[in-house]
Amino acid sequence: MQQELLKYQRQRENMVRDQIAVRGITDPNVLAAMGKVPRHLFVGEALMDQAYGDFPLPIGKEQTISQPYIVAEMTQALQLKKEDRVLEIGTGSGYQTAVLAEIAYRVYTVERIRLLLDKARKIFDTFHYHNIVTKYSDGTFGWADESPFDGIIVTAGAPQVPEILLNQLAPGGRMVIPVGKNYSQELLMLYKNDKGVHQTALGGCRFVKLVGEHGWKEE
């Protein structure tokens, strides 16, 4: 047991050094969070030994846990401070949620597949992530009651930036979202201030579809 823990801890340290720091992620909060969150517990037992590899993995229901570097890149782009409130669309495995919860004050996460949300919720409870609030819903509507947010992260590919989410961003807030075609998108960082919204492209990526009213229509 102890040996297992040490093994995964070593794999985690290697992941942070060889996949994340080496590719230019410098935010110390992001590096610390990813060095801490036990990623192997967010995948099924059969995939635990691959959890710290440089790739996404299946988590059931045709969804995936993002590659570690993508999680780091998106988290860093949010420029989180410890008092920030963050909205995440697409809980999936809950791994990205836990990384956010290590850094921010509170994380509101929305998932449209009940089985995945229930699994993630169990892990959050086990590890006493009291600052994670979950909702089973179509996240393309955001979470109006809890808005505005300092950060919004969408972890599924959208056909365009949903206006309704931008409206739930606080002045000075940041939003990270993959936008583009079915299975190939551009990762966008949007920054909102009193003058408007500024957009920066961070590079190509490949996410599963954001399915919902303000995303892709269900097939």
Candidates 20-28, 87-95, 124-132, 167-175 — which segment interacts with ligand SAH by CB under 6 A? 87-95
Min dist. Cβ of residue 66 to ligand SAH (A): 4
Q: Does residue 11 interact with ligand SAH by CB under 6 A?
A: no
Catalytic residue status for 66: yes
CA–CA dist 173, 164 (Å, integer) = 14
Site string for ligand SAH, 136-175 (x = CB under 6 A): --xxx--------------xx-------------------
- The candidate with the shortest Cα–Cα distance to 10, out of 30, 45, 47, 39, is 39
Which residue lies nearer to ligand SAH by CB, 11 or 96?
A: 96
CA–CA dist 75, 62 (Å, integer) = 24
Min dist. Cβ of residue 65 to ligand SAH (A): 4
CA–CA dist 202, 212 (Å, integer) = 24
Respond yes or no on whether the N-terminal peptide bond of residue 58 is cis (omega within 30° of 0).
no
Cβ atoms of 150 and 170 closer than 8 Å: yes
Min dist. Cβ of residue 148 to ligand SAH (A): 19
Q: Does residue 100 interact with ligand SAH by CB under 6 A?
A: no
Q: Is 186 exposed, middle or buried (0-12, 13-18, 19+ CB in 10 A)?
A: middle
Site for ligand SAH in 112-131 (CB under 6 A): 112-113, 116
Q: DSSP string covering 160-174, please?
A: S--HHHHTTEEEEEE
Which residue lies nearer to ligand SAH by CB, 62 or 194?
A: 62
Counting residues that bind ligand SAH (by CB under 6 A) gives 26
Cβ atoms of 74 and 26 closer than 8 Å: no
Min dist. Cβ of residue 150 to ligand SAH (A): 18
Single residue of 11, 63, 147, 185 touching ligand SAH by CB under 6 A: 63
Candidates 12-20, 133-141, 169-177, 185-193 — which segment interacts with ligand SAH by CB under 6 A? 133-141
Cβ atoms of 203 and 130 closer than 8 Å: no
Single residue of 15, 25, 30, 65 touching ligand SAH by CB under 6 A: 65
Structure-block tokens of residue 30: 């992001």
- The candidate with the shortest Cα–Cα distance to 155, out of 167, 140, 144, is 140
Binding residues for ligand SAH, per CB under 6 A?
Answer: 59, 63-66, 89-90, 92-93, 95-96, 110-113, 116, 138-140, 155-156, 208, 210-212, 215
Enumerate the active-site residues.
Answer: 66
